[in-house]
Amino acid sequence: MNIAIDVKQMGHQDHVLVGGEIDAYTAPKLREILFPLSEKKGVHIVVDLGNVSYMDSTGLGVFVGVYKNVRSNDGTLLLVGLSDRLKRLFTITGLADIMNIESRAEGGTL
């Protein structure tokens, strides 16, 4: 199981490019990178999931935690580049109704 994570500061936003699989083995690495970003006051995080081939409930848990942190710190979280499969995962769980998500067709990858 592999994951690649690249963080770039672009203006007042943190852009996080994620590739590979997000599962029980790789989610801790993603959490280790996203949680410190999400704890900054007024943070704006854009996570590009365009190169993510698979995500399980462990990955969803990471994004729920990041979303809560960002909200409590008056920030924003935007997920972009979701494949149809990932978009469906967020929709089925109801997370698409509360999180700001753009699919590939809407937002494309960064």
- Given a contact cutoff of 8 angstroms between Cβ atoms, the answer to whether 2 and 21 are in contact is yes
* Torsions phi, psi for 97 (to 5 deg): -80, -20
Please report, for residues 21, 76, 97, 99, 108, the alpha-carbon distance to residue 24 in angstroms, rounded to integers and kept in the order given. 10, 25, 24, 22, 27
The C-alpha angle 63, 27, 61, rounded to 5 degrees, equals 35
Whole-angstrom distance, CA of residue 2 vs CA of residue 20: 6
pTM reported for the whole predicted model: 0.91
Task: Strand 13-22: give its sheet, edge to edge.
Answer: 3-10, 13-22, 44-55, 76-82, 100-103
Q: What is the pLDDT of residues 19-49, one digit of tens each?
A: 999 999 999 999 999 999 999 999 999 999 9
Q: What is the pLDDT of residues 41-85, one digit of tens each?
A: 999 999 999 999 999 999 999 999 999 999 999 999 999 999 999
Q: How many Cβ atoms from other residues are within 10 Å of residue 2's Cβ? A: 9
Domains, the chain: 3-107 (3.30.750.24)
Q: Is 50 helix (H, G, I), strand (E, B) or coil?
A: strand
